[in-house]
């Protein structure tokens, strides 16, 4: 059996996208070159005309980038993928490829802050309106659709509320209305959720997160279900120029080899931490797709292979108590981004989702007290002990305040 032919995800992660190279390396070489020599003037002309396959210039195509793209397309079960310079570059390329002036977008309220801001600012400038909905409610999505709706864009689970959308149901609705269904699959990765298999047309990722997994790259990807969508977006990306570079593509491809292993560990630890938080007297609520208390637990069970590494919670003391915890963790690190091997904690209202504005945050369910945790692959007891300790300090500070007052 060819290594690439295994249907098992853990094998796919190790071997996907790897081709044959000069000298037989088991790892794709880094083709750190901006341009490629032609055999002759006629050869160069044939490449530009598309009469022959080959490499011309690294904004258009590069073998190291292509290897990583093939790996992700294989994992997502898509036609082909396009590596981008960041997750935002990928999202921007999708919008500018598929939308025309006068079109309309339906977007879930639970999205990464800058995604909403991109639609409300840059995309809006081209006379394209967006309606934001709670996409977990299919009726809300249905009611928002207009004659000119061209894209239904969802992030599931959404950042940072972890609101979950039924991909299959929304994809059906999109297609009944001649719209494209685009899913940001960053929080789950193809190891835990494959939207194209559930009817989506396009998947985007911030590769900065779980797919790379090591907090050392900023990159993105677009995976298309068919050739027509891929060709359209490839042309746009080539014109916009927001491509990934070969070294970052190499690092992402290397990260993917351990994706299945990492996602298993992230999920196992996050489940334990979510249960610890849910049982802690100072915690007001916890959102985690693996908890029965999650409002869309049944949808999660249907479309996730495991529950992932992201948790959101709020303490009884709200913002002040949350800040006290963030300022007193010693093992978890206070930083934005997510999906790396190290545990990170952050405050969406004042950090990742600040650009959305208070009103949009409140509508999306991002309370001022919400704290987000990206669970790493360290020993879970170290993470729990750290949180427990920070929660204790936070409650002592509160009681001190009370005694002074
Ligand atoms: N999509 C999701 C779901 C994200 O969480 C992010 C970044 C992006 C797209 C954009 O990707 P980038 O351009 O950064 O590669 N999310 C971040 C976060 O929650 N904290 O810092 C970045």
381, burial (CB in 10 Å: exposed 0-12, middle 13-18, buried 19+): exposed
| Backbone dihedral angles phi then psi of residue 31, each to the nearest 5 degrees | -85, 80
Q: CA–CA separation, 396 vs 21, rounded Å? A: 61
In the structure encoding, which two tokens stand for residue 278, read together? 């849910």
Tens digits of residue pLDDT in 304-336: 999 999 999 999 988 899 999 999 999 999 999
CB-ligand 1 contact for 336 (6 Å cutoff): yes
> What residue ranges do the domains of the chain occupy?
10-256, 260-404
User: Residue holding tokens 């992932």?
Assistant: 308
Mean pLDDT of 8-24: 95
Helix (H) or strand (E) holding 143: helix 138-144
Q: Which residues are catalytic?
A: 59, 112, 184, 209
Q: Does the pLDDT at position 1 exceed 60?
A: no
Distance 351 CA to ligand 1 centre (A): 12
What CATH number labels 260-404?
Answer: 3.90.1150.10
Q: Does the pLDDT at position 11 exceed 80?
A: yes
Residues 362 and 391 sit within 8 Å (Cβ to Cβ): no
Mean pLDDT of 189-203: 98
CB-ligand 1 contact for 155 (6 Å cutoff): yes
Question: Which ligand 1 atom is at minimum distance from the Cα of 88?
Answer: 13
Query: Any idea what the Cα angle at residue 17 is, between residues 12 and 18, rounded to 5°?
Result: 100
Distances (CA, A) of 315 to 108, 155, 221, 390, 395: 26, 25, 35, 12, 10
Q: Does the pLDDT at position 403 exceed 80?
A: no
Q: CA–CA separation, 159 vs 348, rounded Å? A: 9
Q: CA–CA separation, 245 vs 307, rounded Å? A: 32
Q: CA–CA separation, 282 vs 371, rounded Å? A: 13
Q: CA–CA separation, 346 vs 212, rounded Å? A: 20
CB-ligand 1 contact for 218 (6 Å cutoff): yes
DSSP string for 286-313: EE-TTSTTSTTHHHHHHH-SS--SEEEE
Pocket test for ligand 1, best of 93, 115, 164, 186 (most atoms within 8 A of CB): 186
Question: Which DSSP category does 244 fall into?
Answer: P
Q: For ligand 1, atom 20, which residue shows the shortest CA distance? A: 337
Pick the CATH number of 10-256 from 1.10.357.10, 3.40.640.10, 3.30.930.10, 3.40.50.970: 3.40.640.10
Residue 155: its pLDDT value, please?
98
CB-ligand 1 contact for 83 (6 Å cutoff): no
Helix (H) or strand (E) holding 385: helix 380-404
Q: For ligand 1, atom 21, which residue shows the shortest CA distance? A: 337
Residue 127: its pLDDT value, please?
98
Q: CA–CA separation, 362 vs 173, rounded Å? A: 27
Pocket test for ligand 1, best of 115, 204, 209 (most atoms within 8 A of CB): 209
């Amino acid at each position: 059996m060819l290594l690439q032919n295994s249907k098992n995800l853990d094998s796919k992660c190790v071997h996907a996208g790897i081709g044959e190279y000069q000298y037989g390396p088991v790892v794709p070489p880094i083709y750190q070159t901006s341009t490629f020599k032609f055999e002759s003037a006629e050869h160069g002309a044939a490449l530009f005309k598309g009469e022959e396959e080959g490499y011309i210039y690294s904004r258009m195509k590069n073998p190291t980038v292509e290897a990583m793209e093939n790996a992700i397309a294989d994992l997502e079960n898509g036609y082909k993928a396009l590596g981008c310079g960041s997750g935002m570059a990928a999202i921007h390329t999708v919008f500018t490829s598929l939308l025309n002036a006068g079109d309309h977008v339906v977007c879930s309220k639970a999205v990464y802050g800058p995604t909403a801001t991109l639609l409300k600012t840059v995309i809006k400038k081209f006379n394209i309106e967006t309606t934001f909905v709670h996409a977990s409610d299919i009726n809300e999505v249905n009611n928002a659709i207009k004659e000119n709706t061209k894209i239904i864009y969802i992030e599931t689970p959404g950042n940072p509320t972890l609101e979950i959308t039924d991909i299959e149901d929304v994809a059906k609705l999109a297609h009944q209305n001649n719209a494209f269904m685009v899913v940001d699959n960053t929080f789950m990765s193809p190891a835990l959720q494959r939207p194209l298999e559930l009817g989506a047309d396009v998947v985007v990722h911030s590769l900065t997160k779980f797919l790379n997994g090591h907090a050392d790259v900023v990159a993105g990807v677009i995976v298309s279900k068919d050739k027509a969508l891929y060709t359209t977006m490839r042309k746009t990306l080539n014109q916009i120029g927001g491509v990934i570079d070969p070294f970052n593509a190499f690092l992402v491809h290397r990260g993917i080899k351990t994706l299945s292993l990492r996602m298993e560990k992230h999920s196992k630890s996050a489940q334990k931490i979510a249960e610890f938080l849910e049982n802690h007297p100072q915690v007001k609520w916890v959102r985690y797709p693996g908890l029965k208390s999650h409002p869309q637990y049944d949808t999660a069970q249907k479309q996730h292979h495991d529950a992932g590494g992201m948790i959101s919670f709020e303490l009884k003391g709200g913002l002040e108590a949350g800040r006290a915890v963030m300022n007193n963790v010693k093992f978890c690190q206070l930083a934005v981004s997510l999906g790396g091997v190290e545990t990170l904690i952050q405050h969406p209202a004042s950090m990742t989702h600040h650009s959305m504005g208070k009103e949009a945050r409140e509508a999306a369910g991002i309370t001022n007290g919400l704290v987000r945790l990206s669970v790493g692959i360290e020993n879970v007891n170290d993470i729990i002990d750290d949180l427990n300790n920070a929660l204790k300090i936070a409650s002592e500070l509160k009681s001190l305040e009370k005694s002074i007052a």
